[in-house]
Amino acid sequence: MKFKYGMLMPLLALFGVAVGFPLCYAAYLSVTDYKLTDREPPGFVGAANFTNALSNTAFWEAFGTTAIYVLIAVSVELVLGFSLALALHQQRWAKDLSRAIVLAPMFITPIAVGLIFRFLLNDQIGAIPALLHTIGADYDFFGAGRALLTLAFIDVWQWTPFMVLLILAGLESMPKQPLEAARVDGAGPIYRLRRVMIPMLAPVLTVAVLLRGLDALRVFEYVYATTRGGPGTETQTLQYYMYLEGIQFFRLAQASAMAFVVLVLVLAVIVVAFRTMERSREGSSAR
C-alpha cells in the first residue's frame, strides 16, 4: 500500500505544480483588484470582479461568438468525421497510408495552422483568393460576416481527424452480429446506419462531440494568428477577450474572474452531458 501511494507522489507533485498552483493563484487574483502595472499590493474586492464579469456586455458577446463558432465547427466535424470514418472502415487497400494522410493535420501546432491559413487566404497575397480571381470570383475570407466562418473552417480542417480517430475506433470495436442480423432480415444500408449503427455508436459520438466542443471553446491561436478579433469584434472569442483583458490591458484580476465564470459554465455542461449519458445507458439496459 505504501509503495502504491509512493509511486503516485511524483505525479501528484507534478500536477500540483503545473495545475494546482496556477489555479489557486488565479482564484486569489479573481478576488483582488490586481493589475500588472500596479506596484502596490492588491486589495481584496470579494465578488466584485465576478459581478462585473456577469454584467459585462462585451464578455457575453464574446461568449455568443464562441458558442456560434463551436456549434458550426463541431457540427461540420461530426458529419465529415463520421463519413470519413465509415469510408476508412470499409477500405480494403492502402488502409495505413490513407489513415496517416487523414490524421496528419491533427499533429500540426494550431498557431502554425493559423499562420498558414492567414497567408493562404489573404485577399492580397493569398494563393486561394488569387485562384478564385482567375475564374472571376472575388471572396474576402476575413471580411465582415465571413471571418468567423473562415475560422470555423480552419478548425474543421485541423480537427476533423480527431473525430475520425474516435469514430473509427468505435466502428472497429463494434460487434458485427447486429449488422449481420439486420442484413439477413433484408434491411438496407440506410436503415442499418440509422437503426443499428448510430445507436450503437451513440456513446462514442457523445464523447467525441463533448471533447471537441470543450476543446473548440478554448480557441485562441487561430484568432491571434489571423484576425486579432476583427473585423471589429466579430471574431473576438472568449479566450481572446480574456487575453486582451489580462495581458493587453493588464487587468489580470478581471480576466481571472471571467476564466472562473467560464470554468463553472463548462463544468455544468459536462455534468449535464454525463448525466444524460448515464440515463440513456440505464434506459437501454432496462429495455
How many domains in the chain?
2
| pLDDT tens figures, 146-166 | 999 999 999 999 999 999 999
Reported as a pLDDT band with limits 50, 70 and 90, residue 75 is very high
CATH number (domain holding residue 208): 1.10.3720.10
Give the pLDDT score at 17. Answer: 85
Q: pLDDT category, 231, cuts 50, 70, 90?
A: very high
pLDDT at position 283 over 70: no
Mean pLDDT, the chain, whole residue set: 90
261 in the same domain as 245: no
What sign results for the dihedral spanned by CA atoms 123, 221, 205, 176? positive
Cα three-residue angle 19-218-274, rounded to 5 degrees = 80
Domain assignment of residue 83, yes or no: yes
Choose between 185 and 241: higher pLDDT. 241
Same domain, 28 and 76: no
Residue whose grid cell is 489580470: 252
88-145 per-position pLDDT tens digit: 988 888 888 898 999 999 999 999 999 999 999 998 889 999 999 898 888 899 999 9
Look up residue 42 and give its DSSP letter. P
Three-state DSSP state, 263: helix
Query: Which cell is 153 given?
Result: 473552417
Is there a single domain that holds both residue 232 and residue 270?
A: no
The domain in which residue 216 lies consists of 64-250
Q: Are residues 164 and 50 in the same domain?
A: no
Cell of 202: 451513440
pTM comes to 0.91
More confident call, 259 vs 187: 259
In a domain, 15, yes or no: no
Q: Residue 235: its pLDDT value, please?
A: 96
